[in-house]
Structure 1
């Protein structure tokens, strides 16, 4: 389980996170929704060690993550698919996937996981030797998720996986998120598409200007009038 308590992060004199607390239970899909600038991406970047916290605690299976190096955090079973995909454009699909396993040295296991990723994303197998920069936006998102899976994470964090994608592709991506979770990976999802995110989430939190203002099951927040008006429109 991931447990965040009273986490505070400041950039210069601006408080990006104002003492947030949340839990991501093992085997669940948890989503964090909110407007641009609410602090969603900062939360993920702090968990992975890319951003330093001012105070608070981030515990992963009882072990404190704050102060640990990024490679130690990844090695503990946490992976992130970043906002904007950030694939290595001048490298092939397969090379991108293998980079996701850079902390591993089990060659047979790596090849087995390449086949697993291809089973989740058949289009990546079709384009295995194609340069990542020539893929469509949806294919690059699939590659970013696949690359993160190559570290064999216990917790997969996804930052805006649907951003800029066509509705049909978004549905595909969310189906894959469900499938990844069914195969035993815990998911922490940051998403502006609140409707899709809440439909697949076991637990959900609303983040507004660095503070968590609401929490509940995905279904509870989907039905909440304030959430519907703020993030889903009056008709949801």
Structure 2
């Protein structure tokens, strides 16, 4: 479905990615884990065309993404739920969802998809009239995910969906990710909560200073002593 080969990305002289290779198969959950500054978000931003790659290839269903605009990449069926939620604070919940479907013209189907999001996120339905900036952190994260689903993506990419959330809400977000996957979505997940991410992932990649140092099935990485020592300290609790 998505194949990243020898991808290099730099920001102002800093090499964020140093020739990484990633493969994402259809209907799988794939996770990228690593410390802050490892290059996880840079990988997502390069796939979306938000940063320019110096070298490499990103193919989606055998079509090259490098050089394409972000809008065209979205039209191809790739959606990004950004780090920090980035909801439109002065717009209502429903207006945020409508904007999530900005590449679509099918008004009747868009209405049905809004109702589908309300079924997945009942709290958003209760607050459909409310301005997004007045929602709690957890509700804003739910809105960001729901908005990302409004283009009917084939590949949903999520950047730190549990960041800054209370433990109970972290559990809820991961249950939602599993439900989205059950509904047929392929997911690429960037997440600092490595334990939670690897528990639900079919496959995982470990990034360190822009390079891939390990990869394998989620459960395999979860039980890897090196991964446990570096990223899964919470497993000892």
Q: TM bucket by the smaller chain? A: over 0.9
Task: For 2:205 and 2:57, locate their aligned partners in 1 and report how far apart those are by CA, in whole Å.
Answer: 18
Q: Report the counterpart of residue 182 of structure 1 in structure 2.
A: 182
Q: Report the counterpart of residue 201 of structure 1 in structure 2.
A: 201
Task: For 1:14 and 1:177, locate their aligned partners in 2 and report how far apart those are by CA, in whole Å.
Answer: 32
Q: Any idea what SS the aligned residue of 2:87 has?
A: coil
Q: Which blocks of at least 5 consecutive residues in structure 2 are unaligned?
A: none
Q: Report the counterpart of residue 98 of structure 2 in structure 1.
A: 98
Corresponding residue pairs, total: 236
TM-score by length of 2: 0.98
User: Is the CA contact (8 Å cut-off) linking 1:93 and 1:127 kept in structure 2?
Assistant: yes
Q: Report the counterpart of residue 235 of structure 1 in structure 2.
A: 236
Q: CA RMSD in A?
A: 0.8
Task: For 2:15 and 2:164, locate their aligned partners in 1 and report how far apart those are by CA, in whole Å.
Answer: 28
For residue 10 of structure 1, report the CA deviation from its aligned partner.
1.0
Task: For 1:200 and 1:174, locate their aligned partners in 2 and report how far apart those are by CA, in whole Å.
Answer: 8
Q: Report the counterpart of residue 212 of structure 2 in structure 1.
A: 212
For residue 168 of structure 1, report the CA deviation from its aligned partner.
0.6
Give CA deviations for 1:73-131 in whole Å, capped at 9, x if unaligned: 00000000000000000000000000000110001110111011111100000000000
2:143 is equivalent to residue 171 of structure 1? no
Q: Any idea what SS the aligned residue of 1:9 has?
A: strand
Residues 9-88 of structure 1 correspond to what in structure 2 (within 5 A)?
9-88=9-88
For residue 13 of structure 1, report the CA deviation from its aligned partner.
1.7
| Structure 1 ranges of 4+ moved more than 6 A | none
For residue 192 of structure 1, report the CA deviation from its aligned partner.
0.1
Q: Report the counterpart of residue 132 of structure 2 in structure 1.
A: 132
Task: For 2:109 and 2:205, locate their aligned partners in 1 and report how far apart those are by CA, in whole Å.
Answer: 35
Q: Report the counterpart of residue 119 of structure 1 in structure 2.
A: 119
